Amino acid sequence: MTSSVTGPRSSRSGGHIAAIVTGVVVLAIATAALLGGGVVIAADTTQRDSDGYYASGVETLTTPTHALVSNGLDVGTNGPDWLFRQARLGTVRVFAGRRLVAERPLVAARAVAKPGAVARVRFYARRAVSHAWGWIT
């Protein structure tokens, strides 16, 4: 007659549990980055027109004179300096019917002072918390 005796199961150590939790968090972040990158690549390859531009809706503008003039253009230029260097925002194209009459780079007209270290840390911390909270909820 054979009998097998099993002892009590050894419990996992705190370090082992911390490693598992850390691995799961890293896996979640990597999965989110991979999915986000896939969405950006899909948008980049499918949302451009035949000339390679991302196009906004068509807006018809008229004027009783020969010139169309604007005192300003608000394109939401709050952000980091690297985004607003020459032609970084894109190109403005003006058509008359189907004929291209003008094409110019869209640039930020006034310089924005670079924020200090504390402001940059605050900005990135808020973004990180906001993104992390979005993953949780």
d(CA 108, CA 88): 9
pLDDT at position 5 = 60
- Over 70: is that where the pLDDT of 132 sits? yes
Could you give the angle at the alpha carbon of 120 between the alpha carbons of 115 and 125, nearest 5°? 155
Q: How confident is the model at residue 26 (pLDDT cuts 50, 70, 90)?
A: very high
User: 134 and 86, same structural domain?
Assistant: yes
Structural domain containing residue 107: 79-137
Can you name the residues that pair with 91 across neighbouring β-strands? 105
Q: Rounded to two decimals, what is the model's pTM? A: 0.37
d(CA 48, CA 97): 20
- Percent pLDDT > 70 in the chain is 66
Residue 4 lies in a domain: no
Lowest mean pLDDT among 42-56, 61-75, 112-126: 61-75
User: 137 and 96, same structural domain?
Assistant: yes
Mean pLDDT of the 2-21 span: 75
Residue 83 lies in a domain: yes
d(CA 111, CA 15): 51
- Over 70: is that where the pLDDT of 49 sits? yes
Nearest Cα neighbor of 48 from 91, 15, 11, 80 is: 91
Q: Tokens 């230029």 map to which residue?
A: 77
How is 22-57 classified by DSSP, letter by letter?
HHHHHHHHHHHHHHHHHHHHHHHHHS--TTS-----
CA distances 42 to 33, 39, 50, 55, 93, Å, are 14, 5, 16, 16, 24
Residue 110 lies in a domain: yes
pLDDT at position 101 = 84
Q: Return mean pLDDT, the chain.
A: 77
The three-state secondary structure class of 77 is coil
pLDDT at position 77 = 56
Q: Are 84 and 91 in contact (CB under 8 A)?
A: no
Per the structure, how many domains does the chain have?
A: 2
pLDDT in tens, 52-103: 777 667 777 777 877 776 666 565 556 666 555 555 566 777 777 778 888 8
